Structure 1
């Protein structure tokens, strides 16, 4: 068995695309989730090279560096928290990251800042703002429902943070529409 860490796997569609490439190459998968593939057997050097060549044009990369793997795991945990879970419970991001990655939060925070050039908190906020954009475009929830769903303390706090990040108020963004949204792997 071998585990590979893959950069830019940020959604279920990414998982399907990577799974499809693995199937085309005849590589048996035991488990696949955001940023991580567990294969049934060890890859030969040539198999790994062929897989890298298949994934690269699709925007994915195999991560060999341990620190880069940690960064990718941090990003995937945040993406999972913001985009794929209904956060009814208030969660402390530093506690979640520390417990899931088995590292002190200060270490994770410093590593993330050094490699990404931004803080974990800013990355988390950027992901939340992308989720707010998505929910505004869908036009199914009120701003107060969006604030509640994403654990903002108030609509005013969400609006202020949204304007600080995007330069637009949520209502102005809603008028402009979807062309201002970013793909999740481009959110910084």
Structure 2
């Protein structure tokens, strides 16, 4: 809605708006691009007119959607195949591009996103570690624990314990 309003205010006719992409009816002038860029910056966004950055952003969006939705896609297809098919490019090209632009690999970005989701699930305290490992498609609790410790420096149980110690129960308020 914010992006649609921005384009409306600048009187640029939009053909289609999707997450991370805007398609206009006409080619934008340099002045229009500058207006859009300034408007985006005021709301905390940036204009990605570099095709390489656009592809990297698409990869990130796909990974975040897979992880946040604990997608069943992971049961059926390897994430690298899914990413390549979704973008319509060879995975080797995508991984090289991602590494050049981001300074990390797609796999590392994917692992970090999974660990962030695991942290979120641990904080909510609704699931056991075994359930979380299943939900996030880890082969075992041990695999999840090893990866969690490698990324955070803490075991999942220690992380959960630290978060629990910071919480104040209602009767102590």
TM-score above 0.5, yes or no: yes
TM-score w.r.t. structure 1 length? 0.75
Is the aligned partner of 1:86 residue 2:71?
yes
Give the RMSD, CA atoms, in angstroms. 2.3
1:46: how far off? 2.7
For the pair shown, the structure with the greater C-alpha radius of gyration is 2
Is the aligned partner of 1:146 residue 2:146?
no
Residue-pair matches, total:
163
Instruction: Structure 2: state its 5+ residue gaps.
Output: 165-173
Instruction: Structure 1: state its 5+ residue gaps.
Output: 1-15, 179-188
1:53 pairs, out of 32, 38, 41, with 38
Cα deviation digits, residues 63-97 of structure 1 (max 9, x gap): 11111111111111111111135336523111111
Distance in 1 of aligned mates of 2:124 and 2:10 = 37
Give the strand-richer structure, 1 or 2: 1
1:75 pairs, out of 47, 60, 64, with 60
Cα deviation digits, residues 19-38 of structure 1 (max 9, x gap): 45445545555443332223
Q: Report what 1:161 is aligned to.
A: 147
Contact in 2 for aligned 1:52/1:62 (Cα 8 Å): yes
Q: 1:139 to 1:115 in 2, by over 3 A?
A: same
Q: Which moved more, 1:126-135 or 1:44-53?
A: 44-53
Give the helix-richer structure, 1 or 2: 2
Is the aligned partner of 1:136 residue 2:112?
no
Structure having greater relative contact order (Cα 8 Å, sep ≥ 6):
1
1:105: how far off? 0.9
Distance in 2 of aligned mates of 1:88 and 1:44 = 41
